[in-house]
Amino acid sequence: MDDLHISLRAETLFHVGPIPVTNSMVTMFLVMGIVLAVFGYLGRRASNIPSRGQGFVELIIEFLLGLVEGTGGKRLGRRIFPLISGIFIFILFSNLSGLLPGMGTIGITHDEKESEDHGVAAVDLSHAGESTPESEAAAAATGHGDDPTDTTVSDVPLSETDGAAAEEEEHSTLTPIFRAPTADLNMTLALALLTFTAVQVAGISAHGVVGRLKHMADPPFLFPIELISEFSRILSLSARLFGNVFAGEVLLGVMYAMANAIKIALLPVFVPIIFVGLEVMFGTIQALVFALLTLIYISLAAASSHDDHHADEHSVDAPTPDPTRSVGAAPVPSGD
């Protein structure tokens, strides 16, 4: 349990000018590179007879497309599908990256000195050699006035008292090179701000600035509540994702440490496997929840415009009835 490393914030590895580069930022760029490389490779090698990798990717895409179109409609769903699918895939890969070997264990070791205070009171020895009437009277009362063997605190060397007061002990700390991006509150806050911006852009493009404000102020006394609700989504989205991912990693690390300390038969092997499976399930669920909430917020912001477009599509696609013909009437023969 002594080797368990838990840090609430991401550790800084180095600086690029004034910008600190943290371990979660390094993992974020790796995840982005892997996602772009994998999906780009499969996209270039796509064929009518899909391979296993292409079939798996098409299964994910079809699931997300059906989900988006079923919630936001075909017209709006096709427009926001790249955003929703990109958020889901990035968060999913980021959550699963925390389960890879080396996460939290490969890092840079720093030697630090720690001072331990043993509770010895500090004594002012600046006037140790001086005698005052009060000290002479106290020495006469105790009988130690002229005793050459008397060893009071004033006779103790300064170096010994300092050594007894504090001891320095060297210990090493590990700074991990890799950390799951979604286990950093800065990353989840950035994703929440992206969702907030997308919702406002969708609402303004659908209703206009004045229409967006009227949509939030219907009825007018609800406008402050709607405004608070819009900004509270930033906190709820970021805190929910960060809390679940970070707590899952801490739980998994504690289970690893406990299983390693017990060392009973195959228990150190089976216990972590169970929790790894749970973390895979929870990571997938959290990615889906974040993407679904983004989809719902955008659909609500562009709701009335989306309904109007649907009504226009149905009116255009529906055949125009002939007013000169009645239902069930036989065709009128020609007059030749």
pLDDT of residue 317 exceeding 60 = no
Q: How far apart are CA 158 and CA 243, in angstroms?
A: 51
Rounded to two decimals, the pTM is 0.71
Long-range pairs for 63-71: beta carbons < 8 A, 24 or more residues apart: 64/88, 64/291, 67/292, 67/295, 68/295, 71/292, 71/295, 71/296, 71/299
Q: Which amino acid is at 254?
A: V
Q: How far apart are CA 113 and CA 171, in angstroms?
A: 6
The predicted structure's pLDDT at residue 270:
76
The predicted structure's pLDDT at residue 308:
43
Q: Which amino acid is at 71?
A: T
The predicted structure's pLDDT at residue 85:
93
Q: Higher pLDDT residue, 264 or 287?
A: 287
Any residues with CB less than 8 A from the CB of 309 and at least 6 apart, and which? 73, 75, 76
Instruction: Tell me the mean pLDDT in the region 95-117.
Output: 72
Look at phi and psi of residue 206 and say left if phi exceeds 0, alpha if psi is from -120 to 50, else beta.
alpha
Instruction: Tell me the mean pLDDT in the region 3-24.
Output: 82
Q: Higher pLDDT residue, 132 or 31?
A: 31
Instruction: Tell me the mean pLDDT in the region 305-318.
Output: 43
pLDDT of residue 312 exceeding 50 = no
Phi–psi pair at 132, nearest 5 degrees: -120, 160
pLDDT of residue 17 exceeding 80 = yes
Residue 131: which pLDDT band, with cuts at 50, 70 and 90? low
Q: How far apart are CA 125 and CA 165, in angstroms?
A: 14
Q: Higher pLDDT residue, 132 or 51?
A: 51
The predicted structure's pLDDT at residue 136:
54
The predicted structure's pLDDT at residue 4:
62
The predicted structure's pLDDT at residue 251:
86
| CA-based nearest residue to 207, from 74, 299, 78, 305 | 305
Of 49-53, 155-159, 205-209, 223-227, which range is least confident?
155-159
Q: How far apart are CA 213 and CA 296, in angstroms?
A: 19
